[in-house]
């Protein structure tokens, strides 16, 4: 299923680790130069900045080429015709992505990524125009329109598996959010369906990732699991995923409370407090940075959304209390780790950190800003 | 071959020692698992949330709490932060110095942000300088430059450079006419002064690692200033060579120093500026699309050539 040979991806991963270790002083320069010769890959890679601008300009050229085709050859055609040609554009764009990898041996190069992303966009717009434009409204036809996000979700998942592009996975999750809106008008059911879809995905991902503990695929599944936990949390937190959260965010959450049945509302409130410890525990158990980060994020979100959930008024000093709590937790963990378990370290930066930040003491996100 | 097998293989080859193999294999297995980044991000988020809440509380409740109480609380926190920083900081050095403790940088951020809140409060409530905000910004810039160099902190340096830019902008806004042109000219002057200052300090070896921060800020302000000239309705012709010159310099710098963010700046800002001039008077939609197809493909080809020649990941 994967377009890249696993040996090639492993080699690239080993090469990156070697650079990190050499930067951290864990290998001598002579060792690094010697071992680098053993991790030569036939895949073409580039750095993050060139990757980003190659992505941007490829996307511009693909979008402009498609628009030019329609402007020149199909200026007055029907939406169905446009839809069929958009589906052809999707196929061409996808074929170009495959070719750029199989012939050009591009790996995270921006070009093949933009072509793959373009094919998903063309597919969704093409399905909409080809099959559903001008269709009069009826409950049955409206249900069929769920084909549009379904196609987007399935194709994004395919791109994720085939090319290993991590952002295709959250894109598939976003498409999945729109599915229940076509099937039921019940808001509670929509939340439950989305959470169930993500839960099914989570079961699948956790089953598969156990086979990829120390190989290159481990990171893909780690990110996917983290996104799924975040998705489940957002689906069950009615204060965050309510249709118009701003309307009742500052006045005590009465809007969301009246929008849903009381048992459902309070069950989701309980789940918003149950889920963060589960995610945090899983992150710590797996030593998974992404899952751990999501655990922290959902814990903070539970604190932030608790008052609107309970219908309590907000105070101007709430962020101060949250700040004190976050700082206190960080300092407590730091002190505990200093004299506690040896399997975790608070003062030791992750490998490659010094190299990426020129050895600065300020945490990486602030360095990466410039 | 997964990385653990590779390490074993390299040890058998004699390329790495058994100790290195054991240590690197442990790192691959996440033993020990570093929580350094996570804890630092928690501390940073904690400081930001605290300052946001403090600012919000002061703004909302200043009437009820009274100026004396508010200023006393703010001054106490400020004094405590800077007492901590000055009492714990290592002796000043020209070279890069690590923070003495894990929370040092965050206490410094807290102090810097509280300084901003206190100045804003002083002017809003007591009108000490009768609305002359530019003086506050200048004083803040000078103070933050001092803190950045004393405590070796790039984040505070970014705040200092932003405050200085804000001072320039506010000063010009008080002038009566031709403001857009003045903004552009003074942006260029700002770039010249900050760039020269940063380069001079780097050559003298004074916190030479700060140079990257200077360069990034100067590059962005310079590109925006030149682009604003390119987007003028009249008299934009002179700005095109200026844009090309800046793009060329940024590209050359990025390629020779292998700092590819400058290649990205020159590609994106350059494309936007040149496109704005070339298609500004064209109303034919088909021509515009053709332009984008050919120029974007040309950019991709050019960038691929650059990537193949220079742009391998480190």
Residues B90 and B97 sit within 8 Å (Cβ to Cβ)? yes
Helix (H) or strand (E) holding B311: none
Asked whether residue B242 falls in the same domain as residue B135, the answer is no
Q: Give the nearest partner residue to A68 out of B44, B153, B290, using CB atoms.
A: B290
Query: What's the token pair of residue B55?
Result: 């600012």
Asked whether residue B5 falls in the same domain as residue B47, the answer is no
Asked whether residue B190 falls in the same domain as residue B168, the answer is no
Q: What is the pLDDT of residues B159-187, one digit of tens each?
A: 999 999 888 877 776 666 656 777 888 88
In chain A, what's the furthest Cα-to-Cα distance? 74
The rounded mean pLDDT for chain B is 90
The per-residue pLDDT for B46 is: 96
The per-residue pLDDT for A218 is: 80
Of A343-347, B101-105, B216-220, the range with the highest mean pLDDT is B216-220
Query: Domain ends where: B174, B192, B217?
Result: B174
- Rounded to the nearest angstrom, the gap between the alpha carbon of residue B199 and the centroid of all alpha carbons in its chain is 16
The per-residue pLDDT for A232 is: 97
Contact A109 B307 (CB under 8 A): yes
pLDDT > 80? residue B45 = yes
Q: Give the nearest partner residue to B32 out of A64, A342, A362, using CB atoms.
A: A342
pLDDT > 70? residue B298 = yes
The per-residue pLDDT for B295 is: 96
Query: What's the token pair of residue A171?
Result: 């894109």
The per-residue pLDDT for A368 is: 38
Q: How far apart are CA B217 and CA A95, in angstroms?
A: 41
Q: Give A369's DSSP letter.
A: T
Q: Which chain B residue has the Cα nearest residue A11?
A: B1
Contact B34 A345 (CB under 8 A): yes
HEC string of A340-363 equals CCCCEECCCCCCCHHHHCCCCCCC
String of DSSP letters for A108-119: S-SHHHHHHHHH
Asked whether residue B132 falls in the same domain as residue B27, the answer is no
Query: Domain ends where: B140, B174, B208?
Result: B174
Asked whether residue B126 falls in the same domain as residue B183, the answer is no
Best mutation site among A9, A31, A45, A50 for testing chain B: the one with the most B CBs within 10 Å?
A50
Residue B207's domain comprises 179-314
Beta-strand runs (E) in chain B: 33-34
In a structure prediction context, what are the per-residue pLDDT tens digits for chain A, which is 370 residues long? 889 998 899 899 899 899 888 888 889 999 999 998 888 888 999 999 999 999 999 999 999 999 999 999 988 889 999 999 999 999 999 999 999 999 999 999 999 999 999 999 999 999 999 998 877 767 677 788 899 999 999 999 999 999 999 999 999 999 999 999 999 989 999 999 999 999 999 999 999 988 877 777 788 899 999 999 999 999 999 998 764 545 555 555 556 667 888 999 999 999 999 999 999 999 989 889 999 999 999 999 999 999 999 999 989 999 999 999 999 999 998 888 887 666 677 666 665 555 555 544 444 444 433 3
User: Based on the structure, what is the number of domains in chain B?
Assistant: 3
Helix, strand, coil percentages (3-state) for chain A, rounded to 5, are: 75, 0, 25
Q: What is the pLDDT of residues B2-28, one digit of tens each?
A: 888 899 999 998 889 999 899 888 888
The per-residue pLDDT for B29 is: 82
Closest by Cα among A169, A162, A156, A68 to A119? A156
Query: What's the token pair of residue A348?
Result: 């030791």
Q: Give the nearest partner residue to A344 out of B32, B48, B59, using CB atoms.
A: B32
Query: Domain ends where: B143, B174, B205?
Result: B174
Asked whether residue B304 falls in the same domain as residue B198, the answer is yes
B164-170 long-range contacts (CB < 8 A, ≥24 apart) are B164/B137, B164/B138, B164/B190, B164/B194, B165/B190, B165/B217, B165/B221, B166/B137, B166/B141, B167/B134, B167/B137, B167/B138, B167/B141, B170/B133, B170/B134, B170/B137
The per-residue pLDDT for A125 is: 95
Asked whether residue B61 falls in the same domain as residue B157, the answer is yes
pTM of this structure: 0.89
Asked whether residue B127 falls in the same domain as residue B203, the answer is no
Asked whether residue B195 falls in the same domain as residue B284, the answer is yes
Asked whether residue B215 falls in the same domain as residue B276, the answer is yes
The per-residue pLDDT for A348 is: 63
Higher pLDDT, A256 or B244: B244
* Buried b / exposed e along B8-18 (16+ C-beta atoms within 10 A): eebbeeebbee
Helix (H, G, I), strand (E, B) or coil at B34: strand
| Chain B hits for A324, Cβ within 8 Å | 46, 50
Q: What is the pLDDT of residues A51-61, one digit of tens each?
A: 999 999 999 99
The per-residue pLDDT for A253 is: 52
Asked whether residue B93 falls in the same domain as residue B207, the answer is no
Asked whether residue B183 falls in the same domain as residue B312, the answer is yes
The per-residue pLDDT for A98 is: 97
Q: How far apart are CA A190 and CA B101, in angstroms?
A: 49
Q: What is the pLDDT of residues B66-101, one digit of tens each?
A: 999 999 999 999 999 999 999 999 998 998 888 888
Q: Which chain A residue has the Cα nearest residue B304?
A: A54
Q: Give the nearest partner residue to B53 out of A72, A319, A367, using CB atoms.
A: A319
Q: How far apart are CA B44 and CA B88, in angstroms?
A: 19
| Chain A hits for B34, Cβ within 8 Å | 344-346, 348-350
Q: Give the domain ranges of chain A.
A: 184-314, 324-359
Helix, strand, coil percentages (3-state) for chain B, rounded to 5, are: 80, 0, 20
Contact A58 B260 (CB under 8 A): no
The per-residue pLDDT for B123 is: 87
Q: What is the pLDDT of residues A327-337, one digit of tens each?
A: 999 999 888 88
Residues A316 and B61 sit within 8 Å (Cβ to Cβ)? yes
Closest by Cα among B122, B49, B112 to B77? B112
């Amino acid at each position: 299923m994967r377009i890249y040979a696993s040996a090639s991806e492993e080699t690239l991963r080993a090469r990156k680790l070697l650079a990190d270790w050499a930067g951290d002083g864990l290998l001598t320069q002579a060792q690094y130069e010697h071992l680098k010769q053993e991790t030569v890959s036939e895949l073409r890679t580039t750095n993050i900045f060139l990757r980003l601008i190659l992505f941007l300009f490829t996307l511009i050229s693909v979008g402009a080429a498609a628009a030019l085709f329609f402007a020149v050859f199909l200026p007055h055609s029907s939406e169905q015709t446009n839809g069929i040609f958009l589906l052809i554009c999707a196929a061409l764009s996808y074929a170009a992505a495959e070719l750029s990898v199989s012939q050009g041996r591009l790996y995270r190069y921006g070009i093949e990524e933009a072509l793959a992303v373009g094919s998903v966009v063309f597919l969704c717009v093409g399905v909409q125009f080809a099959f559903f434009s001008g269709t009069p409204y009826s409950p049955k036809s409206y249900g069929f329109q769920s084909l549009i996000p379904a196609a987007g979700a399935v194709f994004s998942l395919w791109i994720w598996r085939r090319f290993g592009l991590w952002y295709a996975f959250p894109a598939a999750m976003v498409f999945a959010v729109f599915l229940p809106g076509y099937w039921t008008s019940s808001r509670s059911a929509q939340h439950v369906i989305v959470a169930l879809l993500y839960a099914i995905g989570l079961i699948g991902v956790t089953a598969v990732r156990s086979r990829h503990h120390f190989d290159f695929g481990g990171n893909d599944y780690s990110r996917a699991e983290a996104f799924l936990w975040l998705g489940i949390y957002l689906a069950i937190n009615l204060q965050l995923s309510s249709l118009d959260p701003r309307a009742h965010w500052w006045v005590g959450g009465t809007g969301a409370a009246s929008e849903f049945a009381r048992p459902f509302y309070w069950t989701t409130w309980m789940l918003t407090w149950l889920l963060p410890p589960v995610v945090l525990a899983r992150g710590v158990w797996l030593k998974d940075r992404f899952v751990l980060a999501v655990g922290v994020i959902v814990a903070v979100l539970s604190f932030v959304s608790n008052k609107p959930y309970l219908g309590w008024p907000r105070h101007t000093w709430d962020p101060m209390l949250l700040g004190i709590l976050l700082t206190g937790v960080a300092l407590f963990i730091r002190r505990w780790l200093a004299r506690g378990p040896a399997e975790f370290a608070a003062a030791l930066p992750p490998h490659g950190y010094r190299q990426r930040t020129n050895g600065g003491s300020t945490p990486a996100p602030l360095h990466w800003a410039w | 071959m997964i990385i653990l097998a590779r390490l074993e293989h390299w040890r058998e080859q004699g390329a790495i020692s058994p100790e290195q193999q054991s240590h690197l294999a442990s790192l691959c297995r996440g033993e020990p698992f570093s929580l350094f980044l996570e804890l630092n991000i928690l501390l940073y988020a904690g400081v930001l949330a605290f300052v946001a809440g403090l600012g919000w509380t002061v703004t909302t409740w200043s009437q009820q709490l009274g100026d004396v109480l508010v200023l006393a609380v703010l001054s106490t926190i400020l004094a405590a932060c800077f007492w901590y920083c000055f009492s714990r900081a290592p002796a000043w050095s020209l070279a890069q110095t690590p923070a003495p403790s894990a929370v040092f940088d965050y206490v410094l951020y807290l102090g810097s942000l509280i300084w901003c809140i206190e100045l804003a409060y002083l002017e809003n409530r007591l009108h000490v300088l009768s609305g002359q905000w530019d003086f506050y910004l200048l004083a803040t810039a000078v103070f933050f430059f001092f803190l950045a160099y004393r405590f070796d902190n790039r984040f505070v340096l970014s705040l200092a450079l932003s405050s200085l830019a804000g001072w320039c902008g506010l000063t010009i806004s008080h002038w009566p006419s031709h403001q857009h042109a003045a903004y552009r000219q003074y942006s260029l002057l700002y770039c010249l002064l900050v760039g020269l200052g940063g380069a001079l300090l780097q050559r003298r070896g004074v916190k030479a690692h700060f140079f990257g921060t200077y360069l990034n800020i100067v590059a962005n302000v310079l590109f925006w200033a030149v682009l604003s000239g390119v987007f003028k309705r009249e008299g934009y012709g002179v700005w095109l060579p200026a844009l090309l010159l800046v793009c060329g310099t940024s590209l050359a710098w990025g390629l020779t120093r292998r700092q590819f963010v400058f290649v990205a700046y020159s590609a994106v800002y350059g494309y936007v500026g040149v496109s704005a001039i070339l298609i500004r008077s064209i109303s034919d939609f088909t021509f515009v699309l053709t332009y984008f197809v050919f120029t974007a493909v040309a950019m991709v080809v050019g960038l691929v050539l650059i990537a193949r020649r220079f742009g391998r990941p480190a």
